[in-house]
Amino acid sequence: MPREFRGVWIATVMNIDWPTSATDPYQKQKDDFSRLLDYYQTLNFNAVIVQIRTAGDAFYPSKYSPWSKFFTGKEGQKPATNEDPLAWMILEAHKRGMEFHAWLNPYRATVDSKTASLSTQHDLRK
């Protein structure tokens, strides 16, 4: 019998589910993500679908897209770590026996009509 897929979405746009605040220190964001996974594990979820691209940005190091303002507080600003947050999230999910699925929005360029604050790395600027 195939394994039942019991997945949950973790929305990052507008800090809906995680991180709770884009201006929190990186360690607090990590702790919050770990607690979220622990909670979903108690509810018997075996997969997380994490939004890693919200609007032409990224929650991982990329030479093509700027860091997400929903992660660092300012689009294009690198987090205060040398760690790859995406690699860390995948490891944390796997530690709990959960699958990790990357969710991205390939067509949304911004969440509002304000484009002046977009990073020079953003696709709208290219």
Q: Where are the beta strands (DSSP E) in the chain?
A: 7-10, 47-53, 99-104
Q: Where are the beta strands (DSSP E) in 4-83?
A: 7-10, 47-53
- CA-to-CA distance for 96 and 76, rounded, in angstroms? 31
Determine the number of helices (DSSP H) and then strands (DSSP E) in the chain. 3, 3
Question: CB neighbours of 28 closer than 8 A, spacing ≥ 6?
Answer: none
Percent of residues, the chain, with pLDDT higher than 90: 79
The pLDDT assigned to 123 comes to 72
Sorting pLDDT into bands at 50, 70 and 90, what band is 113? confident
Burial of 75 (0-12, 13-18, 19+ CB in 10 A): buried
Sorting pLDDT into bands at 50, 70 and 90, what band is 1? low
Percent of residues, the chain, with pLDDT higher than 70: 98
Across the range 17-45, mean pLDDT stands at 98
The pLDDT assigned to 30 comes to 98
Across the range 78-99, mean pLDDT stands at 97
Please state which architecture CATH assigns to domain 7-110.
2-Layer Sandwich (3.30)
For the chain, the domains span 7-110
Q: What is the pLDDT of residues 2-14, one digit of tens each?
A: 789 999 999 999 9
- CA-to-CA distance for 26 and 71, rounded, in angstroms? 9
The pLDDT assigned to 108 comes to 77
